[in-house]
């Protein structure tokens, strides 16, 4: 796989367009002047986490005595809880935060941008061809940069969708996130059983 192909793959896994309704829902309670700063902060957090997983992901998991499957299962659980709140909104929105309270690290940086799928993919790239870390780092930066541009211009999509359109998309994305989160859980359990020889 060349660098550009890896970048395209990582971009598709990050799915910035799919994350837009969730991000809009999270940020709509914040002061408009503060939203862009929060978005950039969470994007930088996600980049740091993904780069850390690419360069030292397996060592981190080994140090904490965690399996890769645990990343998938944990991410699936978090996404499932977020999806339920998107479908059945309550006070505080999808994050459970009070109006005006900022999200920090979770759920925007993790697992929405730096989710279990992208972290697992980075681990796979690093383990398969460890001599090409410069290429994989460049591919990650390209994919993250493209995602950042889309997410930073979320206001354009907000104007296009409107309040009712945003609510409809949010509930639709909630349904999709439920399915994605369940798939993450099933994949994590399946891989765990396959590795341990129980499945």
pLDDT tens digit sequence for 168-184: 776 787 787 788 778 87
Mean pLDDT of 113-137: 85
pLDDT at 57: 75
- Show the tokens assigned to 132: 């090409």
User: Region 76-99: what's the mean pLDDT?
Assistant: 66
Residue ranges of E strands in 14-103: none
Q: Map residue 106 onto helix, strand or coil.
A: strand
Distance, in Å, from the CA atom of 164 to the CA atom of 20, rounded to the nearest integer, reads 15
Please determine, for residue 49, whether its predicted confidence score (pLDDT) is greater than 80: yes
pLDDT of residue 135: 95
All residues at 6 or more sequence positions from 139 whose CB lies less than 8 Å from its CB, including other chains: 3, 4, 6, 7, 10, 125
Give the lowest-confidence range in 48-52, 86-90, 179-183. 86-90
- How does pLDDT run across 149-175, given as a tens digit for each residue? 888 887 777 677 676 776 777 678 778
Helix (H) or strand (E) holding 193: helix 154-196
pLDDT over 80 at 47, yes or no: yes
Average confidence (pLDDT) over 18-37: 80
Q: What percent of the chain has pLDDT over 90?
A: 18
Could you give the CA distance from residue 127 to residue 130 in angstroms, rounded to a whole number? 6
Q: What band does 78 get if pLDDT is binned at 50, 70 and 90? A: confident
Query: CA of 122: how far to CAs of 45, 51, 78, 166, in Å?
Result: 16, 9, 20, 32
User: Out of 25-29, 120-124, 182-186, 195-199, which region has the weakest mean confidence (pLDDT)?
Assistant: 195-199
Q: What is the pLDDT of residue 62?
A: 79
């Amino acid at each position: 796989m060349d660098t550009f192909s890896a970048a395209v793959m990582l971009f598709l896994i990050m799915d910035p367009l799919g994350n837009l309704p969730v991000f809009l829902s999270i940020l709509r309670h914040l002061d408009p002047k503060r939203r862009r700063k929060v978005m950039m902060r969470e994007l930088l957090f996600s980049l740091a986490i993904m780069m850390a997983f690419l360069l030292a992901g397996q060592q981190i998991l080994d140090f904490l005595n965690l399996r890769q499957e645990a990343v998938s299962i944990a991410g699936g659980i978090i996404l499932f809880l977020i999806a339920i709140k998107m479908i059945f909104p309550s006070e505080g929105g999808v994050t459970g935060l009070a109006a005006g309270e900022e999200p920090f690290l979770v759920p925007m940086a993790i697992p929405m941008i730096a989710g279990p799928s992208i972290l697992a993919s980075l681990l796979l790239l690093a383990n398969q061809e460890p001599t090409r870390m410069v290429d994989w780092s460049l591919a990650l930066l390209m994919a993250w940069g493209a995602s950042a541009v889309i997410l930073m211009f979320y206001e354009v999509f907000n104007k296009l969708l409107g309040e009712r359109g945003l609510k409809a998309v949010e509930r639709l994305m909630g349904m999709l996130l439920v399915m994605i989160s369940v798939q993450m859980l099933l994949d994590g359990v399946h891989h765990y059983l396959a590795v341990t020889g129980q499945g």
